[in-house]
Structure 1
């Protein structure tokens, strides 16, 4: 079998996402034939080489699975949450293999979310260069003027979290100890002081500004607090909220209704498997081969 990048092999085995696999490699948690590997460009043959992650031998690729979920509000798009809030993984029933969210919808947002253990596809979908369109319906507080909407259409400068400042609120999944895993999750109500402190930390990290890619925007429901449909080809953290904040309006609701060729067609909190045809179309949208996958 031809050699492949280590992060791709680890992701295909269902250990973690490709991005997290890169962190595992860089941290020295991966070895090939007894030698610790920390260089991300390293390749290996999964059929001939002995690859270990955190000391455990890798056992080849898992059967790939592709899920579409209608994420409700009040769930975090992550495998586990250090604050003990419900995660989208709590909604999965009857799925016995590990899957991971592709990108994220924030705690207060809802709608179409993809989950898979296909690390290569997830990586392609999350790259801005893939240009896979994502469609949202958004409720805005107050009515933006046409000049503001035009700024969003053309692309505008928004604040983003610095890549060079560590996030204080999130621990690396790979660093959790056995004791952490045994500790029960306790969901506590956050006080106003906690919320203000968290907001202050978040604001202190917004030290860079980037220009968003052009977006399609159209009003779908008029009113004092109108609804707009937005089509984006990138997915920065809290991007929609920050775009509207830049033109002076608060976003009250966000719901993702399309992701590439896929449309939201199930009730909140439910999920379904993608058909072979849907998987082929999704891969084609990213430039991957249309070879049918086992579902």
Structure 2
């Protein structure tokens, strides 16, 4: 079946779709011996696709991991500043995987990594509205912040909304969002007058972090995969 070449490269674990577009614009991709253009389609089962002269090989099956990201790691495969990356934590998984979405360096918790470009695109696309649950420790007046956080708000010119907000303790909140804007929970809390001291993502869709230890990873179970694909196909 023919697909756009950037999708084929992403699905094969070569790079992200955005990076694949850069490869195509730079003339680094060939299909059946000729340079491919951005927007062109190919059939990976029929056509001979190369990147920098190396033939594309499709993975037999994709890999899906759940990582308990610790604080102090950036959600990227490499970092020009030399900071620790989540790629280092999953280096022993045996394949090249990338993070689905992001957690900022000071945040912790559930992070999905995969070599499935199509799933990555679907999970991060706003139209699917995948809910993410965070447990957030804060300082400040929680009682005053609750009604502010529970309503739609504009932060730095962006519309933001929480799907659920409830106290878990004197200085701890449960916040569920689906938008996924940059540092959204921290920015919403700051706008409501409280400061985040610890932020842990405990759920994404129907997937739960559970008792997975910080800094460790595991593959998703068949049941979790079924729930994950159900989530993005609703």
Task: State TM-score, norm by structure 2.
Answer: 0.92
What is the CA-CA distance between 1:42 and the residue it aligns to? 2.4
Residue 155 of structure 1 pairs with residue 188 of structure 2: no
Match of residue 285, structure 1, among 226, 231, 234: 231
> Where does structure 2 lack aligned partners over 5 or more consecutive residues?
none
Is residue 260 from structure 1 mapped to residue 169 from structure 2 by the alignment? Answer: no
1:3 aligns with 2:28: no
Measure the CA separation in 1 of the matches of 2:24 and 2:30. Answer: 8
Aligned residues: 233
Counterpart position of 2:182: 237
Q: Distance in 1 between matches of 2:37 and 2:190?
A: 41
Structure 2 vs 1, CA of residues 151 and 31 (structure 1 numbering), >3 Å: closer, same or farther? farther
TM-score, normalised to structure 1's length?
0.74
Correspondences of 1:6-45 after superposition (within 5 Å)? 6-39=5-38, 41-45=39-43
1:155–1:215: 8 Å Cα contact kept in structure 2? no
Paired with 1:23 and 1:241, the residues of 2 have a C-alpha distance of 32
CA distance in 1, matches of 2:99, 2:108: 14
2:165 to 217, 221, 245: 217
CA distance in 1, matches of 2:35, 2:182: 33
Q: Pick the aligned partner of 1:127 from 101, 118, 125.
A: 125
In the TM superposition, residue 93 of structure 1 has moved relative to its aligned partner by 5.0
1:173 match: none
Look up the match of 2:67: 69
SS in 2 for 1:8: helix
SS of residue in 2 equivalent to 1:141: strand
Alignment root-mean-square deviation, CA: 1.9
Q: Alpha-carbon deviations, 1:83-128, whole Å to 9, x = none?
A: 1111111112531111111111111100011011011111111111
- Name the SS of the counterpart of 1:123 in structure 2: helix
**Superposed displacement of residue 63, structure 1:** 2.5
Q: Which moved more, 1:93-102 or 1:121-130?
A: 93-102
